[in-house]
Structure 1
């Protein structure tokens, strides 16, 4: 039997079992907000393999699509994971998630954003932000990488959000100083373009190119706006998402990279990175 067929069967059986269902956290979140997962679709796509006699490893993408019943309407929520499965003599022995964390690894040196020269000529102009274009980009690339930009294997969340905002017409500023402004150019980019913590603080800086405004409640956000996450509540901002839809209670549904998610409920309570101490910041782009 084809390995991908075996893996899809393996996952379908896990989803049917109350104790092994990997969507238990998601089910809990949706139940909390009076929603229900009506059905789940699983698809595996093989990326590569390593074979050694009777033992071989399959590297694959697992895509999970859920149909969510929300009051009198329905919508799809999707998620994708990169995984590795080990087979011996055609039997599945192990299946594990590859290490791509939603909580950002802060590996870039000197990744703090500097506000000292944030104000630019562009900020003094009235900003036009095309929310529709930003959302269209977010929907097109939620589970793929645009070859016009670098893709960050371990954590691509902020890079993806920056691309969405750029697609919405936000001008870049600050190059070539990585600690100033928000920009991407060839093999270089600002910390605020790719690092979640730097991006969050750039959003609230006095001269940010987005003319971003901090709002109090998620209900105040519009399509194309941004949510920042500090999962541990320790002051280090880990993750960013973009609002692409709203549910029946006017709550945001968001897209993100790492793990790739589409129309996910904004709180992220179903994420392994989430803790009860999680802090959020809600930013209206374009004031």
Structure 2
């Protein structure tokens, strides 16, 4: 089984860098990734993958394994080199040594239907200057692990972004009302701290403490800014990322949790969650 899984990894890695014509039966992630890079005049010059087994089960000659694989891509674009990373959880089934099924695990679950918008609660104006460097440093430190000082969630993307913003010295406010402000305290938290759609509503509507201004295009964002994603285009936002770098054309590269990734191109066209109806919101953090 270990040898079969190792061979699977090796074949996958080869498909990211092979110059040979790719057939429809090839690894879907490699096809999506390469198409995404081609649109940006970028290419993968080297890729590493390492995996670990999460769970295994057997049923006669059938062996099913849930595993995690960590990809590291060395990207070249207009003479610039940078490294993108992502972690994927998959499930595969072998019949003896023959692979018969391999699929990505869907990690997102339905989030609470909270649509609480921050209001001006007549609190005093909280003065602060957003420290973008500290926010990005935190995003880089914890993109693929969980800070034990905070509670982690099954859908951890917004909790992670909130931690990054707070590391950038954005002040909390609104405790103990879960439906107002942006805060985490005493094992309790506001909707805006943990729910993707609630943070998307909070950022442009807050009048005190953490605030943001919507901009019209991703190239207007700076390091430490936030992108919100509506995968289905139905008006409800599912995911948030933080800008941690720029590519050779000045477009954002982002970090995220749940599907853990770093220095990923902002558009998410290589994601299994991508749909042609995907919508985005771009928010630049405003100093208090």
Which of the five TM-score ranges fits, normalised by the shorter chain?
0.7 to 0.9
CA contact (8 A) 2:126 2:208 kept: no
| Partner residue in 2 for 1:18 | 22
TM-score computed with the length of structure 2 as normaliser? 0.88
Q: Within 1, Cα distance between the matches of 2:273 and 2:103?
A: 17
Distance in 1, Cα, partners of 2:121 & 2:45 = 48
Per the alignment, do residues 71 and 14 of structure 1 end up closer, same or farther by CA in structure 2, a change over 3 Å counting?
closer
- 1:134 and 1:164 in contact (8 A); partners too: yes
Matches within 5 A, 1:97-176: 97-101=104-108, 105-109=109-113, 111-121=114-124, 124-153=125-154, 155-176=155-176
1:62 to 69, 72, 75: 69
Offset from partner CA, 1:161-217 (integer Å, 9 cap, x none): 111111111121112211111111243211101111110010011425222122222
Contact preservation (8 Å) 2:120, 2:206: no
- TM-score normalised by structure 1 residue count: 0.88
Change (3 A) 1:185 1:52: farther
- Residue 46 of structure 1 corresponds to 53
2:50–2:71 contact (8 Å) kept in structure 1 = yes
The alpha-carbon distance between structure 1 residues 185 and 53, as it changes in their structure 2 partners (threshold 3 A), is farther
Change (3 A) 1:173 1:61: same
Q: Which runs of 5+ in 2 are unaligned?
A: none
SS of equivalent residue, structure 2 residue 211: coil
User: CA RMSD, aligned part only?
Assistant: 2.3
* Structure 1: 5+ residue stretches without partners: none
Counterpart contact for 2:15–2:30, Cα < 8 Å: no
Give the match's secondary structure for 2:92: strand
CA distance in 2, matches of 1:90, 1:214: 52
- Give me the whole-angstrom Cα distance separating, in 1, the residues matched to 2:186 and 2:271: 33
How is 1:78-89 mapped onto 2 (pairs within 5 angstroms)? 78-89=85-96
SS of 2:46 mapped into structure 1: strand
Contact 1:120–1:207 (Cα < 8 Å) also in 2: no
Distance 1:100 1:11 in 2: 21
What's the secondary structure of 1:212's corresponding residue? strand
Give CA-to-partner distance per residue, 1:66-95, whole Å, 9 cap, x none: 111111110111111112233454554432
CA contact (8 A) 1:228 1:237 kept: yes
Question: What CA distance in whole angstroms lies between the structure 1 residues aligned with 2:110 and 2:91?
Answer: 25
Residues matched between the structures, number = 280
CA–CA distance in structure 1, aligned partners of residues 165 and 181 of structure 2 = 14
